[in-house]
Every structure is written in C-alpha cells, then in structure tokens.
Amino acid sequence: MNRSNIKVLVLTGDGINCEEETANAFREHGVQPRIIHIQDLIEKPTLLTEAHILALPGGFSFGDEIGSGQILALKLKYSLGEALTTFIKDGKLIIGICNGFQALVRLGLLPKPFTQREMTLTHNRQGHFINRWVDLTIPQSKCVWTNTLYGLTINLPIRHGEGKIVFAGDKASQDKIYESLLEQGQIALTYKEDINGSSFKIAGVSDPSGRILGLMPHPEAATSEWLNPSGGEKSGQIGIGSKIFESGIQFCETNF
Amino acid sequence: MSLIYRFEIYPDIHHLEGSATREKSLKDWIAQYENREIKNIWEIKYFQIEAEQPIANILTIAREVFTDSVVEVMISSLELEQSSQIDLWLEKKNFQKPCLIDISFRPGVTDNSALASLEALHCIPELKTISMKVSSGMMIYIESTHPMISLQLEGLAYEKFANKLLHKVTITTHSELSHKKRLQNLTFPAVSIIAEKAKVINLDVEISQLEKMNNDNCWALSLDEIQFIQSYYKKLSRSPTDVEMEVIAQSWSEHCKHKIFSSEITYSESQLPPGVKSIGEFTVKGIFKNFIRGATLKIQEERKIPWLISIFHDNAGIVRFDDVLDICIKVETHNSPSALDPYGGALTGILGVNRDILGVGLGAKPIANTNVFCLAENQYFEENKISIPLLLKNPDRIKEGVHLGVQDGGNKSGIPTVNGAFVFDRDFVGKPLVFCGTVGVIPQVENGKVTHEKGQRPGDLIVMAGGRIGKDGIHGATFSSMELVDGVPTSVVQIGDPITQKRLGDFLIEARTLGLFNSVTDNGAGGLSSSVGEMSQLTNGAHVDLEKALIKYPGLSPFELMVSESQERMTFSVAPKKIKLFLDLAHKRSVEASVIGEFNNSGFLSIFYEGESVGNIDLHFLHESLLPMKLKSHFDPTHMAPHWIKQTIKKPRLPLKAQKFDLEKILLELFRSPNIRSHENYIRRYDHEVKAATIVKPFTGTKEVGFSAPSDAGVIWMKPHGGGADNSIAIACGLCPKVSKFDTYLMAEYAVDEAVRNAICVGANPDEMVLVDNYCWPDPISSARNPDAEYKLAQLVRASKALYDISLDYGMPFVSGKDSMKNDFIGINEFQETIKISVPPTLLVTALGRVPSISMIRTSEIKKESELLYLIGENLIQFQSAFELGELYEDYQVQYPLPQLNPKSQIEIYRKIHLALKDKLIESSHDISDGGLLLALAEKMMGTTLGIKISIDLPEKEWINFLFNESAGRILVTVNPKNQKAFEQILHGAPLMLLGETTSSGHLVVKSNRVEILNVSGVVCMKNYKCQVGEI
C-alpha cells in the first residue's frame, strides 16, 4: 500500500511523554500519525482495527509507580485487551519505546505474545535513571523494524531507570530463554558495552514474527543529526534513529 | 469494621541479588556518615489495602497488580503460614540477626505509590466500584556488625530514609521480630481532624497580644501592618474573620507582595575599597519599579523592541523569538521547603514553576527546565572539624534529596532539564538555595484570540482543577518569609505528585486548544487566596463557596481551604456555557475539577462556607492599600557581622616544582574543587533530551571521551515544538555569590555577563536576548537579631543598581524575576551559643536568547587540529582575582581592585562574536569563568582526543595572574586558519590575543619564553574533573 495511507496510532495520556517526537518521527517519512489519548482509544477501539502501526512512546506512565509500565499494562489489558489481540493476530506492527517497551513486556506481548511471561525489565544495575548516548549493535534478526540496519553499530540515547532485562528462573532457565530468543531471531538490539546490567546486553527484542518491537533506546530522539551529542557531529542530515521508523513503514508498504 | 490487607513484595529466590548495587551504596553511605559498619541491608516495598468488606479474589488480584511475576513474589497478611519464607530469604542473604525498620507515611501526607496503586486496582473490572484505601511503605531489614538498639535504628532511619515531618518509623529489633505477628497486627494511616468553624478575630487588644497572635497564627505580618489592619477594621466597625486575616497575611507576605522590593530605601556609602564603584547617595522608591522594571521599560522604549509581549504582570515573561510561537520563561526558588524536606521541596519547586508556565497567558506548554543548586558539602565540615549546628540536616543528604526531587519532577513530567549549575559554599549549610526554571511555548494566536492575554469576565465560573486540598502547605507563603527556626508546623511541607500534574498540564493544553476557558492561573503560594485573589482583580470581584472545593480528607477549616498550598492545582475561569464541555473533558482525562464560585464585579472577594459568609474583603484594600516600607541602607564593608565559624581554616601553600609554580598540580587541584569538578553523575540522571529538541545538551565532546566536557548553555530547537524549522533558543545561567563579599555591584555585573556570555558562546544573538533575575538574600531588615541589616540592604541596592546599569548598556530587558529575602538560619552551635548562618547574597541571572539559525550553533570543545586559538578579552595580568585559588591556598588572596567590566564596549564585542559565528568563522567557543584561562583551555581540550599548545611569554610572577585570574567578558574560540583574516577583521577593535593552536597530541602544552612550563594530558584533566563522578 502507499505510505500516505498507512495509519499510525501514537498512544498518549497518563504520563506518556514522548508522543510528539514519536509522531514526528513517523510524519517525517510521509505517513500520517495520529496521537491518541488512551481514554479515547478505549472509547473507540475501532480506531485500532483501522490502524497499521501502534506506537507506545516513552514516558513515565502512571508515574512509574509499582513498576514501570505496570499500570499502563493493566489498563490496556482490561480495557483494550480484545482489540489488541485482534490487532496482533492480524499481523499489524507495534513499536514500544522505553516505557512503551516496559508496558509491552508487562502486558506479556514481548517476547512471546499470549504465553507465560518469562522476561522483565527492572531497575538498572546502578539503581538510578541514566541519560546518555550509547553504541548499539543491530544483529541479524526477524525484526522488521531494524532490517535496514542489520550488522551496523549505531549511537542512540538511552533515558531510563528500569532498563535491565532479566529472565525468569534460575541460571539454567535464564540461559535457555535467552538461547530461544537468539534462535528465533528475536534479539533486535544489543548494547555494545554493558550499560545497565541488562542480561546479555540486550537493548531491544521483538516477538517471534518480528512485527512487535520493544527497545529501551530512543530512536525518535535521534532523527536529525542536529540532535547528536557531539558538537563536531551536528549537521542537517537525517539521524540514524529515523531508519527504524522507515523500516517499519517499508514493511507496511510491502505487506499491507 | 474495616479490614486491612498487607502485601509485601520480595524478589524471588533466583533474583535475591538484583539489588546488590543499591545495598552496597547504602552500606557505604552509612559507613561514611554514621560511622557504622552494616553487615546486611535489604529494602522491601509493601502495600496495604483498607476495605469495608472482604474483597473476593484479592490475593490473585494483588499478585497481578503489585508484583512482577518474572522476578517477584508476594507475602501477604492472608497467608500467614507463607511468612516463614522470609526467614529463608534472609538467611540466603546472609542475615543472622536482622532488625526491621518500617517506614510509612504519616496520615494525610501525599503517598504517590498508593494513589497509583488505587488506580491500578480500579483497572480490574470486579474492583471498579469497590471503595477502598491504599497505603504504601518501605521495610528495611538491617543488621550491623555491632548490634544497634531501637533508638539508634530510629536515628539512622530518620537520617537516611525518612523525614520526621512526613514519615512514621516503627522499629522491630531482632528479638521481637516475628513475621507472623507483625502481619497480624496491622494499622492503616488515618486522618482524624475536626474542622473549626470560621471565627472572628478581635484585634482590639494590647500590642503584646497582637504580636502573640501574629506568631501563634503564623501570619508573619509586621506590627505596622497588623496595626494598619486593626485601624482599617475599626473604620468598618467590625472585626476581621480568621479567613480574612489569613487571606490578608498571605497576600501581604514578603513572598507574594515583595515588600522589600517595593519599599523606599535610602542608600549611602563609606569606606569603599580600591576599585569599588561609588554609586552616590540616593533614595530609591522601589527597587523593582525603578531598577528592574525601570530598566526594561527604558530599553523597550529606546530600542523600540517589538518582541516583548508580556512582562512582569503575569506568571512568567513572554517574548516573541519565533514566527509562530511565543516563548515564556520563569525561574523560581524553593529554599525553605527544601531545607525542611529536600526531596519534596525541590520536587514541588520544579512542579510549581512548571505551573507558572502552564498558567501564563491562556496556558503555555513547558518545554525545558533549568535548575541551579547552591549547597554546602559535608566534606568541608568534616575536614575542618566544624560541627554542623543542631537541627540542620547533613548537607550531603540535602544534596541527594533536592537532586532527586528535581530529577523526578522534570523526568516524570517529560520536560528536559537543559541547563543549570551546582555552586558550593559553606554558608549554604543553613539554607540551601534551590532555583528551578522553566521555558514554555504557546501559539501566538489560537481560536482567533491572542494567547498572552487573560480573559476572565464577570459571570465566569471559578473552577479548581488538579489536586485536592489537604492540610499540606498551609502557611507556606508566610513561612518562606520567616527565618528557619525550631518548632515549625509540619503542615508547611508538601510532596508533589508528578502524574497528577502531568495530566493536569496535558488537559490544560487540550482545553486551551479547544477554547474551553477564558483564563487560568496556578495555585502556588497562598493557595486559593492568591489565585482567586489575583484573578478577581481583573473582573473586580469574586464569590467563592469553599465547601465545593475537593478535599483529601474531611476536617479542614474554612481558612485552611482558602490558604492551603496543596500541590498540582490550577484555577480556571470558565464561561457558564462551556462548563459542561470543560468538566467532561477533565473527567475523561482523569483530572478532578470542581466549580467553586463565580467571578463578579462587586469589588469584593466574598468567601462563603456552607452558605455562611466567612469573609468579605475589599479588593482595593487587599491589593492596593499597603504603604511601602521606608528602609535605610548603608554600604560600609567594615560593618559586616562576624562569621559564624570562628576558627581559621587550614589550607596548603601554592605548590612549587623546581622553585617554580607547579602549574599542573594547581590546575588539577582546581579541577577537583567543588565549584569546578564535574557533576555528571547527577546531571545524567536528569532527562535532558525528552521532546527531541535539545541541540546543545549539558555535556558535549566526542564519543571517545564519553561526551563529558561541559557545555556553556542549552539550546532548544523550535521545530519539534511547531516553531521555525531553522530557529532555536539558548538558555544560560550566571551567578557568582563568591564575589558578594567583595562587592555586590560587581557580583551582579559578573552574574549578568556570565549568563549572557554563555548564551553568546552557543550562538545566541545579543540583540535578541532577555534576562530573568532571581535574588536570594539574607534578611536585610533591621532587628535585634540582625545587626548588620543596613549593610545587607545596601548590598541589595548595589546589586540592583548594577542590574539596572548593565541591562541598559547591554540593551537586554528583564522579563521576569523573583526575590527570596530571608535566607538565614538561627540555631545553636556545639558550644550552646546562638548563631546565625546567612547565605552569601546570591543573584541568579538566566539569559534566554534567540539563535537565528541552527547552523551557527557552536559548542565548547575544539574540533580539529591546527586551528588557531584566540582569547577574546583582557589578559588581566595587573590583577589578583583568582577567586578559586583563594579558596584553595593559604598564600593566595584575592585583592582589590578587582577587574571591572565595561558593559558599553563589552556588548560591542559580543555583537562582533555573533557576526563571526553567523559567518561560520568560529569552530568552537567557550567562556572563561571559575578557575580562569588555563582551566577553560583544558576544558576545551579534554572533551576530545586533540591537544592545545600556547605560548604566553610572561615573567613567572605573572603566570598566576594570567592563567588563573577570573573576571567577566572573556571567551576562548578556535578559528580555521583559512578564516583567520576574516575573523580578525570582524573582531577588529576587540581585545584579541592569538594564544596558540590546536594539535593532535592530546596534551595541553604551555610555553613561556620557549620553555615548557606545563604539559598535561587531556586524559589526566578529565580524570581529575570527573574525580567524584564514578560510573554513570
């Protein structure tokens, strides 16, 4: 389908913060994103049926109380559970960035939708929030959001306090979960160095279909080289973060 | 009979080590500050639910809501037999004889976790209609090498984990610890207070009685003011009600009314040290009116500036530095609340100034925060064996608290913290200064209306929205106008609730876009009395029904409803025909709102409670009748009161190497000093780029060195906010309290220039720049406890006169400002003597400037090798003004005369630099401030792997002056050799010195008369600069 017909819903409300820049990141590629308040979507779940991409932006939904993404996940599960299930079963795309990733994980949609949860995101090893630009490697995977970046090392900002990926069970069980993700091509981004204590330095994972991506770094904050952290590397070029949105859009163009 | 359930959240057996870093840092903290070795410590969060009836299925529900099933398990009061599990885990974590500290909130204190949990529970379909309450708390299992008794545990809890004003601490020692027992004996924090009826206050009494009432009621009025009220009510032939007295006291508080800045002050001077500028003898009828607003109006007229849109009369200043958007700025302080509760004080400080932006014009959207902390460091007192006076908090704990407050306030609101500073001085131990600033944007026109004008009309409904009213924050405005002494009522402390405010802010912008209200203002100091009081001035009257305001718990008296400063509230003026849409949208956005009255044109603020009149105040009397105070000031530096620290501080001598000054040692020592060293570990905990518009971030440099070099200013791109695609604004700050003891006139000039200079460095246009002033002064009003008030007031006059002079010369108007005038602590020292600790007179200047094109933005670090390095500014060799060296070394003293600034020629230099930036002739620019030239050079270099070599060719006795003197107006730039001619041509007439060039060596090399006098690597500089940063 033509990209101008691709419909993107960007969720907002209840403490989500990054809806504007997430919408901008889509808009710059010629699609028409709509920022929608959770409550409005609950009232009109058909919007989800009509959409091709759902974006859960970063932020501090519900103040990150209890656990980051936890209450947003509960709200989505009990108010939009059915619509979301259909959305996923229809093969539509979801991207969850930072708090959005945390919510997808708490919802049980990542790493494997509709199965017992076995992965979570918890407090960074350092025990606090960190904002810095970090190097990430993009392994070959099933993820449709990173497929134009396979094999590259890219620099993106992280801004989180709870980005450490942890797997369930004892060491053997944790290793097994990791190996399964690896085998299924679900590891979408890894930190080049240990940044926050995340297991196997994972920074982003996708579901087995590659259509649902959750990642801790913020590609929407790296869509222009003016936003690069080094004074010497600022320019009018498009930023590397843009590629992730472009990849998702390309997938829709080809497949819907 | 209600039921209490308790749910404790533990990590599961495989993830017991998940909090190891936190536990280690707690142990280290306790070892450092409490001198106690802790074997084991473990924090566990818990929740309690109180319900009228048993809740079906509660275990499954609680497990889903409160735990993360992947790594956590829950122990509850419903499964007592499970509690033996806890002992197993404790054993696994090597505890042998754990004690338990339980920290819960005192009744009525905002408990954000509990509020969020309640919302989470209400997501569950079967709980939607069930009425229940939630509380949260923290348990700390602890075991020290030497057993601790209850009292010691309690002391530790209040030192590190809890605040007496907010928390209840319960200790269970090892011998008493039974998990089963404690899970059976549950209590739930409950507020039980009884409302008092409004009462009449008899002012027809003796003076001593008036003064007693003034103290007892925390009115903080002067005797003159009370007597003025007394005679006013005599004329009315009635007595005021308590509600009226409270409203008057709030409105006339120093915090709200700025009485010192409006007073008539005579100024005289004597014994001026060499070089200190005489400003003559005069009387100024209002510092604000004459010096601050006076300068702005004059500049506006002289320069015919079209971009000053709204100044001084609203919650923030508004300027037009964009084609589509208007930009507003406000900076506030929250010093006294931060002294009592550092976390809550700073959090409500940042959320409060955000609301100022939300409440400017028809409501602007915050897009950037700034924050400046002036603090003391425990290390100083420890090293010099000075006891911190009783009642004062450990300054490091204050630092942790205020930092976390600003972090949570900014991050959770989705507003980037783009600029700020840490300033340290031992005299900030009595009161920390916490400055919080916010920049916002608003479309110039919306729904066919200009957005900078408020439009409340008689007949509009008064709507209070956001948080509910509780006892918190009662008397905040009057309290901040008082000295900090023992026995403060606990209600002055408030905890912020970022999520409630975020929803309120989002709702406000949405409602504004839809045109659902006519006016808005925030409820800050003074609560409803201030917000409704101020808004009703425009319509000339209001009617308020206090019982309609939403409350946190019953039992609030009418006056409390009127003046409570419970947070996250804004007051709207809504036309009756729009009220339904307004309230419906609020409900949909989870924002609580209630109609509490109506604006009218009666000339009175009429206050009712359950139908009965509890106050009826003439607005003219309330806002216009107070006569200015008459004060005297005299500047004589020999009349300073003695310092509270009597002992001499031991310092080393300037280091030598082969009989010459050891420049490397001095430089590295400077890098490690509190006012220079990196605070990156703190700053990187602020989100500085949410909204994806921060072009220049707090740190810069290359990836190889971790983007760790300091930036001069923050730059925000307007495009992501809907403004010009090539447009951006720079935000910078300047403050130099260390200069105040020499001369506050110079201090103020330095502060302005530092802010401006920083903004110039990143590319801001000096002809499109505005300033914000924030004064934090020691009490300048004479009293028995304040013998040198005339001197402090004279310092205030001098600083203000300097602001006037320099802003005229720079042509930069002030658009907003604030003053905090009682930054003193009176207490008892270790010898049982009464002492007073006053902050150094501090003036924070924030500069906001337009960067006309993003391609001209420059950062501080050098970019390439073989580029020319210039000093723009004087060499200062005839002065002795290395302030930071004076702090470090015994044999170095700063001496008068100090380097003066010549604002008239300085602004021309800035215009030239701006032209050179515009023509892309400058590759990097960095201001020279604390530490002087050599330090600035090293900073420019160490952000990269490149090097710098310079030649100074001076005799050794002048090295120190040249390399370390501090002043204003100086900038270092690098220039590509191909642009040398063009650059020098543009800078013609400015003091310009070609110092040397950049190299690939990674070293800073200084030669004098061909002899190498310094060779230090960037890596070593960075290591010393980051000496206290640790892992990010």
CA-based R_g, chain B, Å: 29
Distance of residue B828 Cα from the nearest chain A Cα, in angstroms: 37
User: Would you state the pLDDT for residue B198?
Assistant: 87
pLDDT at B898 over 70: yes
**Closest to B506 (Cβ–Cβ): which among A13, A171, A234?**
A13
- Rounded to whole angstroms, how far apart are CA atoms B326 and B324? 7
Residue A158 touches chain B, beta carbons under 8 Å: no
What are the start-end ranges of the H helices in B436-590? 476-479, 498-513, 527-539, 558-563, 579-588
pLDDT at B479 over 90: no
Query: What kind and span of H or E run contains B848?
Result: strand B842-851
What is the token pair recorded at B471?
A: 């006892």
Chain A residues within 8 A of B855 when measuring between CB atoms: 236
Summarised one tens digit per residue, pLDDT across range B832-890 is: 889 999 999 999 999 999 999 999 999 999 999 999 999 999 999 999 999 999 999 99
CB distance B398 to B353 below 8 Å: no
Contact B71 A120 (CB under 8 A): yes
- Site of tokens 């642009």: B979
Chain A residues within 8 A of B588 when measuring between CB atoms: 37, 39-40
CB pairs under 8 A between A and B: 200
Burial class for B364, CB neighbours closer than 10 Å (0-12, 13-18, 19+)? buried
Confidence of residue A6 (pLDDT cuts 50, 70, 90): very high
pLDDT at B488 over 60: no
pLDDT at B476 over 70: no
CB distance B541 to B495 below 8 Å: no
Q: Which range has the worst mean pLDDT, B294-308, B477-491, B768-782? A: B477-491
pLDDT at B20 over 90: no
CB distance A253 to A2 below 8 Å: yes
CB distance A98 to A156 below 8 Å: no
User: Would you state the pLDDT for residue B518?
Assistant: 96
What is the token pair recorded at B621?
A: 């009397």
β-sheet bridge partners, residue B7: B47, B76
Residue A28 touches chain B, beta carbons under 8 Å: no
Single out the residue of B433, B589, B577 nearest to residue B500, CA to CA: B589
Contact B125 A78 (CB under 8 A): yes
Around Cβ A7, how many Cβ atoms within 10 Å? 18
Which 8-state DSSP code applies to residue B605? Answer: E
* DSSP conformation letters of B463-486: EEEESPB-STTTTHHHHTTS-B-S
Residue to test with chain A: of B45, B68, B854, most A Cβ within 10 A: B68
Distances (CA, A) of B409 to B349, B438, B520, B619, B697: 9, 12, 22, 35, 19
Q: Which of A29, A52, A160, A218 is catalytic?
A: A218
What's the CATH fold of domain A3-255?
Rossmann fold (3.40.50)
CB distance B544 to B596 below 8 Å: yes
Residue of B nearest to A126 (CA): B21
Single out the residue of B174, B168, B187 nearest to residue B77, CA to CA: B187
Confidence of residue B492 (pLDDT cuts 50, 70, 90): low
Single out the residue of B999, B887, B888, B996 nearest to residue B941, CA to CA: B999
Summarised one tens digit per residue, pLDDT across range A181-215 is: 999 999 999 999 999 999 999 999 999 999 999 99
Could you write out the three-class secondary structure of B705-720? HCCCEECCCEEEECHH
User: Would you state the pLDDT for residue A40?
Assistant: 97
- Rounded to whole angstroms, how far apart are CA atoms B674 and B682? 14
Encode B169-181: b = buried (16+ Cβ within 10 Å), e = exposed. bbbbeeeebebee
**Closest to A230 (Cβ–Cβ): which among B506, B700, B855?**
B700
- Site of tokens 């605070």: B679
What are the phi and psi torsion angles at B894 (to 5°)? -65, 135
CB distance B529 to B251 below 8 Å: yes
First and final CA of chain B: distance in angstroms?
51
* DSSP conformation letters of B294-323: HHHHHHHHHHT-S-EEE-SSSSSEEE--SS
Chain A residues within 8 A of B18 when measuring between CB atoms: 122-123, 166
Question: Which of residues 66 through 95 in chain A touch B, CB cutoff 8 A?
Answer: 66-67, 70-71, 74-75, 77-79
- Rounded to whole angstroms, how far apart are CA atoms B728 and A30? 24
Which of the two residues, A11 and B473, has the higher pLDDT score? A11
Residue A170 touches chain B, beta carbons under 8 Å: yes
pLDDT at B938 over 80: yes
Confidence of residue B484 (pLDDT cuts 50, 70, 90): very low
First and final CA of chain A: distance in angstroms?
6
**Closest to A66 (Cβ–Cβ): which among B120, B706, B707?**
B120
**Closest to B70 (Cβ–Cβ): which among A166, A221, A236?**
A166
Residue to test with chain B: of A36, A128, A198, most B Cβ within 10 A: A128
Contact A125 B707 (CB under 8 A): no
Burial class for A146, CB neighbours closer than 10 Å (0-12, 13-18, 19+)? buried
Summarised one tens digit per residue, pLDDT across range A161-171 is: 999 999 999 99
Contact A133 B707 (CB under 8 A): yes
Chain A residues within 8 A of B117 when measuring between CB atoms: 65-66
What are the phi and psi torsion angles at B63 (to 5°)? -60, -40
**Mean pLDDT to the nearest integer, B914-938:** 97
- Rounded to whole angstroms, how far apart are CA atoms B816 and B316? 6
Whole-number average pLDDT of chain B: 93
Inter-axis angle of helices B58-66 and A70-89, nearest 10: 90
- Rounded to whole angstroms, how far apart are CA atoms B286 and B263? 5
**Mean pLDDT to the nearest integer, B973-984:** 98
Give the E-state strand segments of chain A in sequence order.
7-12, 32-37, 53-56, 93-97, 119-122, 130-137, 153-160, 164-167, 187-191, 202-206, 212-215
Contact B68 A123 (CB under 8 A): no
Confidence of residue B7 (pLDDT cuts 50, 70, 90): very high
- Rounded to whole angstroms, how far apart are CA atoms B566 and B531? 13
Domain boundaries, chain B: 3-184
Q: Quote the pTM value.
A: 0.95
Q: Which of A19, A21, A118, A220 is catalytic?
A: A220
Contact A126 B123 (CB under 8 A): no
A143 is catalytic: no
What is the token pair recorded at B624?
A: 């216009």
Q: Which range has the worst mean pLDDT, B45-49, B85-89, B255-259? A: B255-259
A18 is catalytic: no
SS3 B830: coil
Summarised one tens digit per residue, pLDDT across range B772-792 is: 999 999 999 998 889 899 999
- Residues present in chain B in total: 1032
SS3 B625: coil
What are the start-end ranges of the H helices in B720-788? 744-762
pLDDT at B808 over 60: yes
**Mean pLDDT to the nearest integer, B541-552:** 95
**Number of helices followed by number of strands (H, E) in chain A:** 7, 11
User: Would you state the pLDDT for residue B471?
Assistant: 81
- Chain CA centroid to CA A98, Å: 6
Contacts of A35-39 with C-beta under 8 Å, sequence gap 24+, read A35/A10, A36/A9, A36/A10, A36/A11, A36/A12, A37/A12, A37/A13, A37/B588, A37/B589, A38/A11, A38/A12, A38/A13, A38/A14, A38/A72, A38/A75, A38/A76, A38/A79, A39/A13, A39/B588, A39/B589, A39/B590
Around Cβ B610, how many Cβ atoms within 10 Å? 11
SS3 A207: coil
Chain B residues within 8 A of A72 when measuring between CB atoms: none
- Rounded to whole angstroms, how far apart are CA atoms B1002 and B945? 5
A98 is catalytic: yes
CB distance B156 to B32 below 8 Å: no
Q: Which of A98, A143, A160, A252 is catalytic?
A: A98
Does residue B897 have a cis bond before it (omega within 30 degrees)? yes
| ipTM value | 0.97
Distances (CA, A) of B365 to B442, B509, B521, B535, B721: 6, 7, 13, 20, 10
**Number of helices followed by number of strands (H, E) in chain B:** 33, 43
For β-strands B365-375 and B417-424, DSSP reports them as parallel
β-sheet bridge partners, residue B72: B11
Residue of B nearest to A63 (CA): B499
User: Would you state the pLDDT for residue B750?
Assistant: 98
Contact B685 A21 (CB under 8 A): no
Query: Which of left, alpha, beta for A203 (phi over 0: left; psi -120 to 50: alpha)?
Result: alpha
Contact A128 B685 (CB under 8 A): yes
- Rounded to whole angstroms, how far apart are CA atoms B722 and A100? 24
CB distance A59 to A120 below 8 Å: no
Contact B412 A60 (CB under 8 A): yes
Which 8-state DSSP code applies to residue B197? Answer: P
pLDDT at B742 over 60: yes
- Rounded to whole angstroms, how far apart are CA atoms B545 and B611? 7
Contact B695 A226 (CB under 8 A): yes
- Rounded to whole angstroms, how far apart are CA atoms B15 and A171? 10
CB distance B698 to B683 below 8 Å: yes
User: Would you state the pLDDT for residue B486?
Assistant: 39
Could you write out the three-class secondary structure of B409-422? HHHHHCCCEEEEEE
Percent above pLDDT 90 for chain B: 80
CB distance A242 to A154 below 8 Å: no
Residue type, A136: L
Single out the residue of B284, B363, B315, B338 nearest to residue B572, CA to CA: B363
CATH top class, domain B3-184: alpha beta
Chain B residues within 8 A of A240 when measuring between CB atoms: none
β-sheet bridge partners, residue B64: none
CA dihedral B685, B691, B692, B694 (to 10 degrees): -70
Residue of B nearest to A28 (CA): B720
**Closest to B499 (Cβ–Cβ): which among A15, A119, A173?**
A15
Residue to test with chain B: of A10, A12, A16, A17, most B Cβ within 10 A: A17
